[in-house]
Structure 1
Amino acid sequence: MNLEPLKTFPKPSLRSDDQAPLPLLSSVVTVAPYPMAALPQLMQDAALAIAHHVQAPDALAGQCVIGAATYLAQTRVNAPHHLRPDGMPCSLFMLTLANSGDRKSECRRLAFKAIDEAERDARNLFHQQCEEVLSQADRLKGKKREEFLADNPLPSDPRTQYSDATFEPIVGDMIRGASAACWDTDEGGQLFGGASLKADTRASTIGGLTKAFDSGAFERTRSRGNVEGSGFAYHRRLSILLLAQPVTIAEALSDPLLREQGFLPRFLFTSTETLAGTRFLTPEKMQAKSYADPRLQRFWERCQMIQASPTHIVAETGEVLPPPMELTAQATAVWLAFYNETEQEQGRLGVFSSVRAFASRAGELARRVAAVFACFEQQEAIDEDLMMRACMIVRHSLKEWLRYSEETQPSLELVQAAALMEWLKEPVRADKWRAFHRNELGKSGPGFVRKARNRDKLLSVLTRYRHLISEDDKQYQIHPLAEVADTAEIQPSQEVGTADDLRIDAETTSHAPPDPKGTDISANFRTTSASEKPVSSGDSASSAISANTRACDERTSLYQGVL
């Protein structure tokens, strides 16, 4: 568990004899492979099928599949909480970073197919019923019309999905009686950069979202003249599935308020590497139809089966009051090992010392993910296998947050400068923008350079890093060598313990008899975990503890400049 020395970002050189462009970005670690093998088999098969047919990154497909399962689970089960007998919501906030053109929408469409169809049918029926009532009411006038509408009230809107929305209408619908919702968009900038988090409302919005995540409570206080009015709603459910381009939310990811106040740490997070340039089509691929893939058909059938099962919504109040999922003794031991591991690594020299706010949420997120998995697998309790899988998903998220920590992220201007160069060099416009005037860029360039101040700042950065050439700071030309100098990649540091660590630690934590339902995990999952593991899976518990102690000593020596 060696902790890599903090990497620094390249600075422009003043040497006149070296005219090659400098890399704008330096990745502290390469994007870690998404732990697809950690998903339960049915979900894993569906995610692999989506990634195959759409030709999209595994992380996109995996997150969309988890998002669909969360939508179904949040009104049917609660996640277990070690301090609350009635548990906590199993709703998840999820954020996935992917570039434009990485096919975020198509991944989401296949994962949510059964859910979207049910939502569409419910809303069509709702509009039909409203039209029938209103058409009869329109034949009446005055008091008779009022009495008719009182005796025949309009049905409640069954809407549960929001895409192009802000937090305000979701709060309003919850106060008016809605029970559960999924805020689901492939334009994540709408939340992080839109009206919901603008300066005059961001604190209240962040507070409202965190309260919704923690307990399902919604509240709004308004002046009496406000049309929406005040109100409150308890025991509701809200899940969030955001797919966003890195450049659109780079500023939000480094915002101290969003990070330290606990909003971002509630998100299950991953990022992707684009497959653009490798997504070739063949006659065989064009013949393969996603709708005919048995892996997706089985996934959609399970979604429909769960949709047909009863929810735990109180008709009179709209409150969602499901029972908490139980943990087997072995699952509890796995969770304890994971919780204690992430707690230890939050220490001053720990791997997660720079992301304590995120690591402190890991135990809670693992229980929520495990409850979602158990619901989708139609199990009555969370066993060792499902908890271990959940811990792997959460650990991946935590590792991704570590990559995006303030100490290791490049500045916003470097991120935007790199995005601008990528835009200038895209084949569809490369010929036109090999040479250009800054005013033309301000009029026709990407949105973040439309303001003259930011445009000039980014052009200055690109000139200093020698990606652009200019003699008068007005007319610019792309450096001939700029095609190969976008990033400098650094190999990933070693991983903190994975699935086999949890198994070793769990065995030393609990002496409970083995659970016949969850005593082992698939060979594929073990192999995936062991490949990342710093301590051999065959080591004894005492060897693992000894290795951990040595690793801690090595980190101390590293910081003291010994290594």
Structure 2
Amino acid sequence: MLTSEFSKGESYVSTPQAEPTPLFGELRASEPVPWDALGRLAEVVRAISTLTQAPEAIAMQSVLIVVSLATQAHADAEFLVGSVPLSCFALTVAQSGERKSACDHLASTAIERIDLERGRKYRLEKREFEAAKLAFQKGNRRKSNDDFDVVDDDHTELDADLPPEPPIYPASRISDPTIEGLIRQLEIGWPSVAVMTDEGGQFFGGHSMKKENALKTAAGFSKLWDGATLTKSRASAEPIQLSGKRVSLHLMIQPGVAQSVVGDPIMKDQGLLSRVLIAWPESKIGSRVIRKSEARSAEETEAKSVLAAFDKRITELLNADLPIHPGTRADLQPRVLALSEMARKQLEDFYNRVEEASGKGRAFEYMTGFAAKSPEMAVRIAGIQTIFADENAAEVTAEAMENGIGMMEWYLSEMLRITDTGRPDKELCAAEELRSWVCEKWHEDFIDKRTMMKYGPGHLRDGNTLTRCIQILEEHGWLVREAGKQVIGGAISRTYWRVVRSGTTK
């Protein structure tokens, strides 16, 4: 049967379809946030969740990364072998409307305020530097003219004064998550930073994670997580060597992108995914009613008081003197928090439990990379809680180590829950990314391959890859092949599909 007339084409409607089927299995319910293991951070997480009515796990992720940023410059922590930074990487999965940004804003109020204050001071110092630089250049020119005939035996000019150094760019929060932008900021700026953005989808779908850049990006972030020296060679400038830097990371993404990230072979093979703490809580949308009562007002008042104390503590840590390596302006030299005897025994026991659970046929068989890193991440979390409580602490206590292990047991459970949705392969992940783009970014009812090739996710613009993705979406009912012709993107197409969005089939 013919559809209603089109001004520039016609189409034959296919048989009405059933609701499309998801490409991946449904997630089972998540475990409750590990309140006991959060230590002093528990009341902060509750306060943010109370004020925003967001899922507790989102608030927990935001608080953890803010505290990681505030503590990572002050100390490293002893591990089973050597020492590790206190930096943490986190990935929060939630759809639009879950108030991810609100949680992040409340957790990072002190960071935003301090960055603003330091930015104002920096701009003034930058103007003073430019004036001093200009005066230095003028002075050198005069000196060169005055001493034109005064040279040494090698025909070089006599020693001149050193030029003034530019001020250090003071921002500790970075919203641009590209590895190039991060390296540049670490080169000229503060040695302890956090990449925090609620637009994590732009990172995974943007320039940084295109096929030709993905390996470099993943490797760069992994090295920064490790606290390793990062080098970069440039044809037009001096090589860069970054050491003594600390970086935390918090990316917030939507569920449509998350499955692609979890199943990305580059993320897995290179090891970046094994370094990331993932939370994917159930939605609270539809249940966040406004309640006016004395009890609710009391809850909000208490929550604001808790956040005020948290902001004060974060401010103290961010404004404390940094342990800078002698002879440098911005290379950190953190001291090492020792493990108490009991803390080391707890860590060894946890390591053994995780190792046994990683064998063939055991619980962590399909997530061995993340499992192998979990003892180290438990130490990082224990160190973060230790420095948050007392920046002059000498060791990680048994209580702090128990908290770090408790939080990592929750993250292991969360990663297991996510990977158990079908352990998606590369083709399904690519198809899900295309489905997400077609259903959410393409607002027309019809689409053709030419349009997907031109405007779709960049790394899927390969003919064979795109053909296979389209085939999978057809099999699951998200794209329905139509007959006839249709105007799409200003051109007539004879091979095209009707887009089926969940909840819109009739």
Aligned equivalent of 1:52: 50
Change (3 A) 1:152 1:273: same
Question: Is 2:113 aligned against 1:121?
Answer: no
Partner of residue 339 from structure 2, selected from 327, 342, 346: 327
Aligned equivalent of 2:90: 94
Aligned equivalent of 1:74: 72
Aligned equivalent of 1:296: 307
Return the alpha-carbon distance in structure 2 between the equivalents of residues 474 and 440 of structure 1. Answer: 7
Question: Which SS does the other structure have where 2:327 is aligned?
Answer: coil
Aligned equivalent of 1:233: 242
Amino acid at match of 2:33: P
Aligned equivalent of 2:63: 65
Change (3 A) 1:291 1:134: farther
Aligned equivalent of 1:408: 423
Deviation at 1:144, TM superposition (A): 5.8
Aligned equivalent of 1:161: 173
TM-score, with structure 2 as normaliser? 0.77
Residue ranges of structure 2 left out of the alignment (5+ in a row): 1-15, 144-159, 484-494
1:143-542 superposed matches below 5 A? 143=139, 152-176=164-188, 178-223=190-235, 226-227=236-237, 229-283=238-292, 293-314=304-325, 316-317=327-328, 318-378=330-390, 379-405=393-419, 408-409=423-424, 411-412=428-429, 415-416=432-433, 419=436, 423=440, 436-438=445-447, 464-465=475-476, 472=483, 476=498, 483=503
Return the alpha-carbon distance in structure 2 between the equivalents of residues 291 and 307 of structure 1. Answer: 25
Return the alpha-carbon distance in structure 1 between the equivalents of residues 449 and 286 of structure 2. Answer: 29
Amino acid at match of 1:263: L
Return the alpha-carbon distance in structure 2 between the equivalents of residues 277 and 64 of structure 1. Answer: 23
Return the alpha-carbon distance in structure 2 between the equivalents of residues 64 and 23 of structure 1. Answer: 33
Return the alpha-carbon distance in structure 1 between the equivalents of residues 451 and 185 of structure 2. Answer: 41
Aligned equivalent of 1:13: none
Return the alpha-carbon distance in structure 2 between the equivalents of residues 233 and 477 of structure 1. Answer: 48
TM-score, with structure 1 as normaliser? 0.70
Aligned equivalent of 1:498: none
Contact (CA 8 Å) 2:132, 2:164: kept in 1 or not?
no
How many residue pairs match? The answer is 453
Amino acid at match of 1:236: K
Aligned equivalent of 1:35: 33
Return the alpha-carbon distance in structure 2 between the equivalents of residues 419 and 185 of structure 1. Answer: 20
Deviation at 1:463, TM superposition (A): 5.6
Return the alpha-carbon distance in structure 2 between the equivalents of residues 291 and 440 of structure 1. Answer: 55
Change (3 A) 1:422 1:102: farther
Return the alpha-carbon distance in structure 2 between the equivalents of residues 382 and 347 of structure 1. Answer: 30
Amino acid at match of 1:401: M
Contact (CA 8 Å) 1:89, 1:216: kept in 2 or not?
no
Which stretch has the larger CA shift, 242-251 or 408-417? 408-417
Amino acid at match of 1:167: I
Change (3 A) 1:146 1:203: farther
Question: Which SS does the other structure have where 1:310 is aligned?
Answer: coil
Amino acid at match of 1:69: V
Deviations for 1:323-372, whole angstroms, at most 9, x for unmatched residues? Answer: 22122222222212211010001111211111111111111111111101
Partner of residue 99 from structure 2, selected from 81, 100, 103: 103
Deviations for 1:256-290, whole angstroms, at most 9, x for unmatched residues? Answer: 22212222101122212222222223445799868
Return the alpha-carbon distance in structure 2 between the equivalents of residues 218 and 92 of structure 1. Answer: 18
Deviations for 1:33-61, whole angstroms, at most 9, x for unmatched residues? Answer: 34240443431111111112112111110
Task: Give the percent of matched residue pairs that are identical in Structure 1 and Structure 2.
Answer: 22
Return the alpha-carbon distance in structure 1 between the equivalents of residues 304 and 213 of structure 2. Answer: 46
Contact (CA 8 Å) 2:41, 2:63: kept in 1 or not?
yes
Return the alpha-carbon distance in structure 1 between the equivalents of residues 481 and 115 of structure 2. Answer: 55
Amino acid at match of 2:215: A
Deviations for 1:443-491, whole angstroms, at most 9, x for unmatched residues? Answer: 9xx9669989899977765664457777638574869xx6499xxxxxx
Question: Which SS does the other structure have where 2:261 is aligned?
Answer: helix
Amino acid at match of 2:407: I
Change (3 A) 1:340 1:440: closer
